[in-house]
Amino acid sequence: QQRFSSSWRRDEPAPPFAFAFDIDGVLLHVAKPIPGATETLRFLNESNIPFILLTNGGGKREADRVQDLSEKLGVYLTTDNFVQSHTPFKQLVDGPESLRNKTILVTGSDYEKCRAIAKSYGFQNVVTPADILAAHPSIFPFRPVTDILATAQPLPKPLFNTTSTTRLEEALKIDAMFVFDDPRDWAADVQLITDLLLSRNGYLGTYSALNGNETLPSCGWQQDGQPPLYFSNGDLLWSATYHLPRFGQGAFQATVAGVWHRVTGGHELQRRVIGKPQAETYEYAERVLGVHRHDILRSKGFHEPGTLKAVYMVGDNPESDIAGANGHVSENGTQWTSVLVKTGVWSEERGGEKALQGRLKPKVIVADVKEAVKWALVQEG
């Protein structure tokens, strides 16, 4: 049981490097810690070496997920060193698009939790598919897979073209759509998302301004005020407790895109996807890591943490963790190094090294997170 062989003392310059750890397939298989994970994070905490958790997972408020992770891993964690897939959506509340007071539709694994997360970010008017289905059951003629209606809240405005109103200005308008984490009721979610993509200006119950026998709206699909569609990550696969990878939100996204392709006679779904490997997610993560590293090292007695020269990104999914770290160009000159572990999505049997070409090629492949940290410490001397 080889121990780690490094630690940073206060009378030395602060460590110029830090770690970013993926969660699913690196630290946990859902609720079960992966061997070595707890020991590794505890070592880093005790050795004054900063790290953040950077996950495409989501569906809970940051504080709730961090508490859950701290309990599962038996390691002290805070929201200061935690970035989950939908965390960057916060930037849309008061950003250039300023969605704070607009009406957004959110979906994900638990509609009520997604609504609570969106509200905690500052979105004021949040509608879920449950609200719509409860108000107008005929909009989705099948029984929902889960008992989602229990979470329904009254719609802020009635749907167009119903007994409540036939005047657009009085009707419910959705200004943006967000998928916060892996949806459960795909059929209902795909139906409502597609209805809105086909709508006039986001008024549910309307149809794009198709003129006469034209096969597409006068200004083209999704060009006529339809609400933008945001996905919090594009993971086709992720590593859960089953021994083979499972479908993630990327599979749901492919379903929406496939239905849209059929409905529009061949058009590519326009969407905005954040999460790993997207550049803005790594830029956001580096900012969070920089602040956290500065705070944690000062709290541990290092008066001048100095600049962060290197980040070791430890992941299990080449498409998200490895590609993101390889592609990230730091505005501070910080060098991100990708380290692939064998405990998650990728394995020698499933794809092997021939699947790791180009942007998917890690700097090194190691057995697990503990070996990843040991390898990095050797690089840092």
| Residue numbers at the binding site for ligand G3P (CB under 6 A) | 22-25, 55-57, 182, 233, 235, 238, 248, 317, 320
Near Mg ion by CB under 5 A: residue from 14, 20, 24, 102: 24
The three-point CA angle 121-123-124 to 5° equals 130
What, of Mg ion, ligand G3P, none, does residue 55 touch, CB below 5 to 8 Å by kind?
A: ligand G3P
Q: Would you say 190 and 253 are in contact if contact means Cβ atoms under 8 Å apart?
A: no
Site for Mg ion in 175-234 (CB under 5 A): none
Using DSSP, state whether 130 is helix, strand or coil: helix
DSSP for 316-346, please give it: S-IIIIIHHHHH---TT-PEEEEEEESSSS-
Cβ closest to ligand G3P, residue 114 vs residue 159 = 114
Cβ closest to ligand G3P, residue 203 vs residue 238 = 238
Near Mg ion by CB under 5 A: residue from 20, 22, 237, 281: 22
Cβ closest to ligand G3P, residue 99 vs residue 365 = 365
Cβ closest to Mg ion, residue 221 vs residue 346 = 346
Q: Would you say 114 and 59 are in contact if contact means Cβ atoms under 8 Å apart?
A: yes
Min. distance of Cβ 196 from ligand G3P in angstroms?
A: 24
Min. distance of Cβ 271 from Mg ion in angstroms?
A: 22
Min. distance of Cβ 154 from ligand G3P in angstroms?
A: 31
Phi and psi based region of residue 175 (left: phi greater than 0; alpha: psi -120 to 50; beta: remaining): alpha
Q: Would you say 107 and 128 are in contact if contact means Cβ atoms under 8 Å apart?
A: yes
Site for Mg ion in 309-348 (CB under 5 A): 316-317
Cβ closest to ligand G3P, residue 181 vs residue 224 = 181
Q: What is the rounded distance in angstroms from the CA atom of residue 128 to the CA atom of residue 280?
A: 26
What, of Mg ion, ligand G3P, none, does residue 158 touch, CB below 5 to 8 Å by kind?
A: none
Beta bridge partners, 238, equal: 246
Using DSSP, state whether 262 is helix, strand or coil: helix
Residues that bind Mg ion (CB under 5 A): 22, 24-25, 316-317
